[in-house]
Amino acid sequence: MLTFLALASVVLLGIVPEQSQAIVIYTGWERHALVGSDIRLSCSFFSWRWTSEDVTFSWTYRPDGSRDSISIFHYTGGAAYVDNKGPFRDRLEFVGNPSRRDGSILIKNLEFSDNGTFTCDAKNPPDIVGRPSSVRLLVFEKVPIQAGVITGAIIGVVLGLLVLIVVIYYLMRFLVARRVFSLSVSKHGKKKKEGSQQRQGPVPPADPSKIKV
């Protein structure tokens, strides 16, 4: 009886705990950058609820060839905490806006050793259930041409050649048709002239008696 009364009072007072819903986290898929440059790694999330004051963002880093991840950044309670002893010491900056669900970070002065996978996790209480999202960073001396750019260039060249072939084909057809028409008109005119001469017959000789001396 007491348990029932306690539950009833909780419901009446409106202090039923909120149910947690799924949160969806977004990052890029793969980023390319040059040695010595800066790069922004974006992280945002979708939640059905308003952005909580207790929203948190966490970033971890796993170098290429390693199985272990290290924590490099954490935002909670309105404060950002950066790892000042790891590989990004004095090179990592928080550039996000938590009120707009943005937990982006900036990595400065990139090095070849920065190649690896960066994973972002976000919580928007009571929505705390969600799969972290990862982005791969590739640092080059020169940024390689994207495969999509090469494919697009090849497709463009092929289409250009096809258009050129079609234009040449129809141009040749036009020139041949014009030549045939010209020869046909010339031949028809020649036959008409010969037929006219045949209908007129030979010219009779002059009568000597009518010639005045």
| Cβ neighbour number for residue 81 with a 10 Å cutoff | 14
pTM: 0.60
Q: Which residues contact 42 (CB under 8 A, 6 or more apart)?
A: 26, 27, 28, 102, 104
Per-residue confidence at 35, pLDDT binned at 50, 70, 90? very high
pLDDT at 21: 78
Q: Could you tell me if 39 and 50 are in contact, meaning their C-beta atoms sit under 8 angstroms apart?
A: no
Q: What percent of the chain has pLDDT over 70?
A: 74
126 pLDDT above the threshold of 60: yes
pLDDT at 13: 41
pLDDT at 181: 77
Alpha helices in the chain (DSSP H): 2-13, 147-200
Q: Could you tell me if 124 and 52 are in contact, meaning their C-beta atoms sit under 8 angstroms apart?
A: yes
CA dist 115 to 64, 124, 200, Å? 6, 30, 100
- The larger pLDDT score, comparing residue 152 to residue 73, is at 73
Q: What angle do CA 82, 25, 85 make, to 5 degrees?
A: 15
pLDDT at 180: 81
150 pLDDT above the threshold of 80: no
Q: What is the DSSP letter of 145?
A: P
The correct answer on CATH 3.30.360.10 for the domain covering 21-140 is no
Per-residue confidence at 31, pLDDT binned at 50, 70, 90? very high
For the chain, the structural domain boundaries read 21-140, 145-177
* Mean pLDDT taken over the chain: 82
pLDDT, tens digit (0-9, with 9 covering 90-100), for 59-110: 999 999 999 999 999 999 999 999 888 999 999 999 999 999 999 999 999 9
Per-residue confidence at 58, pLDDT binned at 50, 70, 90? very high
